[in-house]
Amino acid sequence: MIGDLLITGIKNVRNIQQYIIGNGALSDLPNLLEMKRNQNNKVVFFIDEFYKDKNIEQRIGVQTNDKVIFISTHDEPTTGYIDSIIDLLKKQLTVNPVAVVGMGGGITMDTTKAVSNLLTNNGRAKDYQGWDLVKNPAVYKIAIPTISGTGAEATRTCVMTNQKTGLKLGMNSDYTVFDQIIMDPDLTITVPRNQYFYTGMDAYIHCIEALNGSYRNPIGDAYSAQTLSLCREIFFDDEMMSNENRSKLMVASYLGGCAIATSYVGVIHPFSAALSVVLGLHHCVANCITMRAMNEFYPDEYSEFWSMVEKQSIVVPIGVSANLTDEQFQQLYSAMIVHERPLTNALGNKFKSILTKNKVIELYMMM
């Protein structure tokens, strides 16, 4: 066995151990933690900055000795940022926490995953960017998604950018998978509309890429098909943020995450990742911007995507490459073409002859 691939080249898939879903499910958190707590060990909470000064500590049963770290969502996680949290925790804690809890969107959940791995594995975050490099099981971790779509609650990775090398890659490992998820659709009511759409669309995009790829998994296909069906119901509905639709999107996000854990993404994510690395655009809005140039690769989904944008009156930024220098286009090409697994999944192993530098620049000019 090589990592998650068996000698047959087939993936050995790990799913989340336990999940709870339902309105008000958040109030189960203190009881779940109580089962883990002991005399010496604390719980460390990573909470999206949106919840600062909103009395969240009381709602989720934070105790005196626990540690709460509010996570800024201004920038997506870098390896340096993860290392700085580890350094802080190692200074402040004498023993590892009994649990870590990540409450927020993909940024907060990925931070939680990376930190829980590094608490039990020596070294720095960059040492574990790749596939199956994490040696020891991580600290027990719980995810509480507060915005739906990335599927970060269900996947075996935590995306981080290494600012020195420009590499945007996560710790792909079975140890990265959360032990418990609490999905409470009440939490997503406060998400701004555009952001709800951008992040929700990540689930849609993961699944169109997976279903159009060549590395397929029959269970992954079923997860993808159901995710897409839910996304269509939600984003063609008059009120995409109704109670019912927010609940459906939480399911779609989870299923989309399970889908992607069995297969790979395609052309959209590499283009989007380069926009994040070079221009600092956030993942989900960068995906939507990338869709401007994807007619050639995903024609049916391209039309469907833009119909949903129109139906929901969403603003997708345009003109991001209008004033770029030749050097920046070169950087975009380099940061995009390194994503060999998804590009091979989408275009075969001759992907570099399809995505020549000129072609890639031409596509970026459409955004």
Integer Cα distance of 308 and 299 in angstroms: 15
Integer Cα distance of 130 and 340 in angstroms: 12
Smallest separation (angstroms) from Zn ion to the CB of 268: 8
167-172 and 159-162 beta bridge pairing: antiparallel
**DSSP output for 301-351:** HHHHHHHHHHHTT------TTTT--HHHHHHHHHHHHT-HHHHHHHH-TTH
Given ligand NAD, Zn ion, none, residue 105, with its beta carbon under 5 to 8 Å by kind, binds ligand NAD
108 near ligand NAD, rule: CB under 6 A: yes
Segment 189 to 228, residues that bind ligand NAD, using CB under 6 A = 190-191, 195, 199, 202
Residues in contact with 265: Cβ distance below 8 Å, sequence separation at least 6, in sequence order: 205, 206, 209, 210, 213, 342, 345
Q: CB under 6 A: which stretch of 3-11, 57-65, 146-154, 210-218 binds ligand NAD?
A: 146-154
Q: CB under 6 A: which stretch of 102-110, 114-122, 213-221, 327-335 binds ligand NAD?
A: 102-110
76 near ligand NAD, rule: CB under 6 A: yes
Q: CB under 6 A: which stretch of 54-62, 86-94, 135-143, 185-193 binds ligand NAD?
A: 185-193
Segment 22 to 61, residues that bind ligand NAD, using CB under 6 A = 48-50
Structure tokens at 65: 């000795």
Smallest separation (angstroms) from Zn ion to the CB of 160: 14
- Residue 355 three-state SS: coil
Residues in contact with 242: Cβ distance below 8 Å, sequence separation at least 6, in sequence order: none
Given ligand NAD, Zn ion, none, residue 151, with its beta carbon under 5 to 8 Å by kind, binds ligand NAD
The binding site for Zn ion (CB under 5 A) comprises 202
Q: Alpha helices, DSSP H only, in 121-217?
A: 193-211
Q: CB under 6 A: which stretch of 60-68, 276-284, 295-303, 336-344 binds ligand NAD?
A: 276-284
**Checking phi first, is residue 274 left (phi over 0); if not, alpha (psi -120 to 50) or beta?**
alpha
By CB under 6 A, name the one of 41, 146, 224, 345 that touches ligand NAD: 146
Are 16 and 177 within 8 A, CB to CB? yes
158 near ligand NAD, rule: CB under 6 A: yes
Which residues share a beta bridge with 159?
170
270 near ligand NAD, rule: CB under 6 A: no
Residue 69 DSSP label: E
Segment 284 to 303, residues that bind ligand NAD, using CB under 6 A = 284
Q: Which is nearer to Zn ion, 153 or 202 (CB)?
A: 202
Residue 140 DSSP label: P
247 near ligand NAD, rule: CB under 6 A: no
Are 40 and 95 within 8 A, CB to CB? yes
Smallest separation (angstroms) from ligand NAD to the CB of 261: 8
Are 345 and 268 within 8 A, CB to CB? no
102 near ligand NAD, rule: CB under 6 A: no
Q: Alpha helices, DSSP H only, in the chain?
A: 29-34, 56-59, 79-92, 106-120, 193-211, 218-235, 243-262, 268-279, 283-290, 299-311, 326-337, 340-347, 351-354, 357-365
By CB under 6 A, name the one of 97, 102, 104, 200 that touches ligand NAD: 104
Smallest separation (angstroms) from ligand NAD to the CB of 264: 12
Given Zn ion, ligand NAD, none, residue 162, with its beta carbon under 5 to 8 Å by kind, binds none
By CB under 6 A, name the one of 112, 173, 188, 272 that touches ligand NAD: 188
**Site residues, ligand NAD (CB under 6 A):** 48-50, 73, 76, 104-108, 110, 146-147, 150-152, 155, 157-159, 170, 187-188, 190-191, 195, 199, 202, 282-284
